[in-house]
Chain A
């Protein structure tokens, strides 16, 4: 509860014209916002511009914040909505050959494991690419719920508020997203056991 009270104090200071308060809000949430965008869209080049757009929207709307949710879930809602708009607008799945990328990356990881001669850093990097590629395979709504849960650590209730769906729908979508991810990463899990 402490961070939330702290956030509310920052909002009140912002409303009184304290520019430093807004700076603090940006600093506090910029990394999470950047990663939500990065993991949702899978495109690092857009992260800067879209993160900026998120905080411009936050600045515009902060006067209308009603203190009925946490500031971070409110900011994530703005970020998620922007990502969903972006996916719709650009039809990212059609522009980026994700299937090809995913297969290639999964193969690449498998191959690198077979031929690895000790480059841990390279392996580590490729593992990240594998999970990124697997996330790209999920539908936008499954990707969003799983990211809000696994990366942002939001509760089902907070995710429900953020996405305007019921907690039951959140529970069900998280389960399905995990099942899909398990299926996509099964080679990885089999190799570990």
Chain B
């Protein structure tokens, strides 16, 4: 096995990531190869130095700082939802209002037959009532009856 391939194996060997067969091959090679022995020492040294360089630490009250951040995050979520909830309520209120106006209007409006139906049934039209009563007044049902009798 050439050295480049062996060096690849060495990397996985120090991590205990080789199969038993591969590990055996590497062990046998390393026993007689000072270059690979030195390589293993270097790999161990890299690991030790990285661990030694991991010197960052957090303040003792870090967990409380995190809890504060979480509360702030939750509060921001509520504030963010506020306008959205307000807009949703406004739209719902407007829908209810429109429905109520339409429904109320349809209840209040008197159901009069169409002019054509009234004509066919012999009932005088509003124009006939106007002719009798003049156009300045609002025409009521009684006015129409009066106009019919007058005719």
Contact = CB atoms under 8 A, between A and B. Distances in A.
A17 B73 CA distance: 18
Contacts of A171: 11-12, 17
Contact of A35 (B42, B56, B63): B56
Contact of B57 (A34, A131, A182, A193): A34
Interface residues of A, number: 44
A68 to B, nearest CB: 21
B78 interface: no
B59 interface: yes
B58 interface: yes
Interface stretch (B46-54, B128-136, B137-145): B46-54
B46 A185 contact: yes
A131 B52 contact: yes
Contacts of A53: 69
Given A51-B62, A156-B17, A34 B56 contact: yes
Interface of B: 7-8, 11-12, 15, 17, 38, 42-43, 45-47, 49-59, 62-63, 65-67, 69-70, 73
Interface of A: 23, 26-27, 30-31, 34-35, 37-39, 44, 47-48, 51-53, 55-56, 59-60, 127-128, 130-132, 135, 146-147, 149-151, 155-156, 171, 174-175, 178-179, 181-182, 185, 189, 192-193
